[in-house]
Amino acid sequence: MKDTSKHQGLRNQLATVLTAKGIVDANVLNAIRKIPRHLFIDSSFENHAYQDKAFPIAAEQTISQPYTVAFQSQTLEIKGGDKVLEIGTGSGYQTAVLLELKAEVYSIERQQELFKRTSLFLPKIGYKPKKFIFGDGYKGLKDQAPFDKIIVTAGAPFVPNPLLSQLKIGGKLLIPVGDKTQIMTLFIRKSAKEFEKHELGDFSFVPMLEEKN
């Protein structure tokens, strides 16, 4: 698990690429410059780790494209101390970005192999969420609700009601909605019953599946 000055150079270049694509949040860009993404993917792909691309990880899942991670993090306007629920831990790369932004992170993964692997790996490189949960993100995390922010990193066929109801007033849910491709959709909770909805463009995610596996 080596991190070298060559890796650092590649990360700086990646941050430049993301800036050109419209990422302006300095804290998000600093997180991208800091987190050793090559350690999150199979070492045979190491040379590709700092391209702006998604890659296969275990269990037919993918590590999200850096631009997507940066876009979701920037859109949620994460502040220090925000209580954040993440659905789809996957490789843990998005989790690490949230932790660099000083959020208090609860992260749910439905795939046991990934849950085990990532909950061991992330703390080893210094990233410690409040909690890793092996469970079904469609249900949210009722016993820790309400949340300032909820981020979904898998493509949801519909918006799960528990996620909307587990937001604080003023809280934000960012969720890619759709089957083959998804529309990145932001919900802002205005009151107990009112939500403002913003559609933020097309993205492509692996599907959000029900139940644990």
Question: Which residues are known to be catalytic?
Answer: 64
By CB under 6 A, is residue 100 in contact with ligand SAH? no
* 108, β-bridge pairs: 87, 133
Q: Which is nearer to ligand SAH, 76 or 108 (CB)?
A: 108
Q: Of the ranges 26-34, 73-81, 109-117, 178-186, which one interacts with ligand SAH (CB under 6 A)? A: 109-117
* 174, β-bridge pairs: 151, 186
Kindly tell me which residue out of 111, 119, 166, 182 binds ligand SAH, with binding defined by CB under 6 A: 111
Q: Please tell me the distance from the alpha carbon of residue 127 to that of residue 164, in angstroms, as a whole number.
A: 27
Question: What sign for the dihedral angle of Cα 77, 205, 116, 69?
Answer: negative
Q: Of the ranges 130-138, 168-176, 182-190, 195-203, which one interacts with ligand SAH (CB under 6 A)? A: 130-138
By CB under 6 A, is residue 73 in contact with ligand SAH? no
Shortest distance (Å) from residue 72 CB to ligand SAH: 9
Q: Which is nearer to ligand SAH, 164 or 170 (CB)?
A: 164
Quick check: 88 and 72 in contact, CB under 8 A? Answer: no
The type of residue at 176 is P
By CB under 6 A, is residue 208 in contact with ligand SAH? yes
Q: Of the ranges 10-18, 19-27, 56-64, 194-202, which one interacts with ligand SAH (CB under 6 A)? A: 56-64
Enumerate binding residues for ligand SAH (CB under 6 A). 61-64, 87-88, 90-91, 93-94, 108-111, 114, 136-138, 153-154, 206, 208-209
